[in-house]
Structures are given as structure tokens and as C-alpha cells.
């Protein structure tokens, strides 16, 4: 509905942020709204999530995140302590990511109309001179696919906290900034064709978006895709597929084969990338795009785009 009204041409709407040519360089601009419930969950909260989510959207566009805004929709009666905790968490997350919160706004809605609070952030980043902007149009047959962390951790952490499920091992969100990993990759001179963070719809949806735009077949090796035992167990219990469950501190990186091992080494040198794995490749061109997973038995299953909302209000 929105694209025909707002889109001015080009492929800006195909990425996590708009890349804008301005005098003296290129800016990346993105925005997102956060309605996660509960506000505080194992491994994070709505404030940390709002900062890291926007930082990561800029980073996967190849930009260096610089400035963020924050707007708060407050329900009448929300406690000052809750608001203070969220704001303090945002400030700490911004410091960790190396960005500044430079402007903001607050609005109050009637009691019962706002579920405590919502946060809207926007971010601006800069693509350094000489850096080639990554995107699905750059992906080629023979490229390798890297996942920087184990799947589904954020979605399962929020879901179990919301529903009050208790597991033997506490599942925590992977919420973290990814711009440090991205900068390290570029600093080492590694060529990157495309990056996406694994938010709504997880790895499957991110790869389907890339495959459909580029007209490619992506093949994954199931045994190589990192999924924690506790997340796998929770997904089996809840009837979820980890390939479709969101992360908030992981991304997929697609790049030429000659750079794959070097990139994995760079990613694993960061706390958020310790579980990085080379998980598949771009097998060739195919009309409409396709993503498949090869099992240990050698059989294939198709990963379609997620239809509907598997886990509502996880970001």
C-alpha cells in the first residue's frame, strides 16, 4: 500500500534503510517503531531493542551509524521508574554502539490505549567514500552465505517471557549492535555483496527477500545452521520453526567465496559473532528466486516467505 504512494523509483524500498546521495557523500536513513511486550525481557528491553534495531538497519546498508532520534508514546499512568529504566537503557545502548541520541519527542495517550509505552527511533548513518553499497542486486552465483549467530534467540526469549514458560536453561535475547562487526569486515578489505539483519521472519524471510529480488537459488546446509539446543527445544514445544524466528543481534552476510573464511574469522572475533557459521551458497539463477535447505540425508525442503505473523509484538 505504501510503496506506490511514497516510492520515487530505484530500489530504496528493497533495503533496511534508504541510501541518499547528498553533496559530499552518501547518507543512510532508517526508521522503526517498537511495540515489544513485555517491555523487559531476558537479555534486553524495549529501549535497548530500539537503539540496536535502528543501528543494525543502518549497518547492514554498509553505513556507519551516527545519530538517532527517539520518540515515546506513553500511556497515561505509566510509572516514572519504567520510563527512567527504558531511557537509561537506550542511553547505554547508544554509548555501546557509538551513536548519539540527538532529538526526540513524547506524546501521552489515554489510559488503556497504549500498553504502557511504545518507542519510535530513526537513524542517520554515513557510507564512507569508496565503500561499495551492498544490496541484493550484487549477489552472484557462487557466493557464500554466512550467519553471524544462532537462530531464533530473541523471538523465543520474548515469547517465553510473555507466556511465563519456564525452561531448564534460561533463554536470553541476542539483542546487540552489529555495526562493530560490519566495520571490521570492511576494515579487512573484504568484499560484501549483501547483508540483512534477521529480524521479523528470521533467516528464512531475509533470504527469501534477497532471492526473489536477485532471481537466485540459495541452498543452505541444515547441519551447519547454528541453532542452540535450548532454542531448538523451545521451538519444538511451541510448534515454531527456528528458520522463521527473529534475532536482534544476528545478520546474514552474502559475499564472494574467496572472502568467506576470512569473513567468518573476523565475525567470530566479536562477542555477538562467536557462533558465526558458513551455512550455504548461491547455487544459480532461477526465476522468482528460491531458498532451500539440504538435510543430513540429502533431501531438500523449500523455505518459503513467512505468511502472516508467527510471533506478534517481539520487536
- pLDDT computed for residue 189 by the predictor: 98
Residue 112 is classified by DSSP as T
Kind and range of the H or E element at 257?
Answer: none
End position of a domain, from candidates 104, 128, 152: 128
160 shares its domain with 117: no
- pLDDT computed for residue 309 by the predictor: 64
Check pLDDT > 70 for residue 141.
Answer: yes
114 shares its domain with 145: no
Work out how many domains the chain is built from and give that number. Answer: 2
Instruction: Write out the residue range of the structural domain in which residue 108 sits.
Output: 22-128
Which residue in the block uniquely carries the three cell numbers 554515513?
126
Report yes or no on 310 lying in a domain: no
101 shares its domain with 146: no
Report yes or no on 47 lying in a domain: yes
Query: Is the alpha carbon torsion for 35, 39, 44, 47 positive or negative?
Result: positive
Position 88 confidence tier, pLDDT thresholds 50, 70, 90: very high
Q: What is the value of pTM for the model shown?
A: 0.94
- CATH at residue 258: 3.90.650.10
Which residue in the block uniquely carries the three cell numbers 513524547?
106
- CATH at residue 78: 3.30.1330.10
Position 185 confidence tier, pLDDT thresholds 50, 70, 90: very high
Report yes or no on 13 lying in a domain: no
Rounded CA-CA distance 155/312 in Å is: 9
Amino acid at each position: 500500500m505504501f510503496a506506490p504512494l511514497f516510492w520515487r523509483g530505484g530500489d530504496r524500498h528493497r533495503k533496511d534503510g534508504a541510501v541518499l546521495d547528498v553533496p559530499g557523500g552518501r547518507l543512510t536513513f532508517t526508521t522503526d517503531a517498537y511495540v515489544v511486550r513485555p517491555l523487559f525481557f531476558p537479555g534486553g528491553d524495549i529501549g535497548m531493542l530500539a537503539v540496536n534495531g535502528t543501528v543494525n538497519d543502518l549497518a547492514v546498508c554498509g553505513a556507519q551509524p551516527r545519530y538517532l532520534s527517539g520518540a515515546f508514546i506513553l500511556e497515561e499512568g505509566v510509572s516514572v521508574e519504567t520510563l527512567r529504566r527504558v531511557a537509561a537503557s537506550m542511553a547505554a545502548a547508544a554509548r555501546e554502539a557509538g551513536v548519539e541520541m540527538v532529538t526526540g519527542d513524547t506524546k501521552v495517550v489515554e489510559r488503556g490505549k497504549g500498553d504502557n509505552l511504545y518507542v519510535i527511533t530513526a537513524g542517520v548513518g554515513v557510507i564512507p567514500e569508496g565503500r561499495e553499497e551492498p544490496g541484493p542486486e550484487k549477489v552472484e552465483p557462487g557466493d557464500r552465505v554466512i550467519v553471524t549467530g544462532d537462530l531464533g534467540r530473541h523471538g523465543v526469549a520474548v515469547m517465553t517471557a510473555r507466556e511465563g514458560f519456564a525452561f531448564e536453561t534460561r533463554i536470553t535475547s541476542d539483542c546487540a549492535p552489529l555495526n562493530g562487526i560490519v566495520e571490521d569486515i570492511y576494515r579487512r578489505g573484504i568484499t560484501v555483496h549483501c547483508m540483512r539483519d534477521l529480524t521479523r521472519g528470521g533467516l528464512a524471510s531475509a533470504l527469501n527477500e534477497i532471492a526473489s529480488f536477485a532471481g537466485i537459488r540459495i541452498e543452505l546446509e541444515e547441519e551447519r545452521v547454528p541453532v542452540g539446543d535450548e532454542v531448538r527445544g523451545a521451538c519444538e514445544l511451541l510448534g515454531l520453526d527456528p528458520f522463521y524466528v527473529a534475532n536482534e543481534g544476528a545478520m546474514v552476510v552474502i559475499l564472494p567465496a574467496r572472502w568467506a573464511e576470512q569473513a567468518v574469522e573476523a565475525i567470530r572475533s566479536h562477542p555477538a559473532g562467536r557462533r558465526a557459521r558458513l551455512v550455504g551458497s548461491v547455487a544459480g539463477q532461477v526465476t522468482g528466486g528460491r531458498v532451500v535447505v539440504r538435510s543430513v540425508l540429502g533431501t531438500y525442503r523449500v523455505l518459503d516467505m513467512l505468511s502472516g505473523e508467527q510471533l506478534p509484538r517481539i520487536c
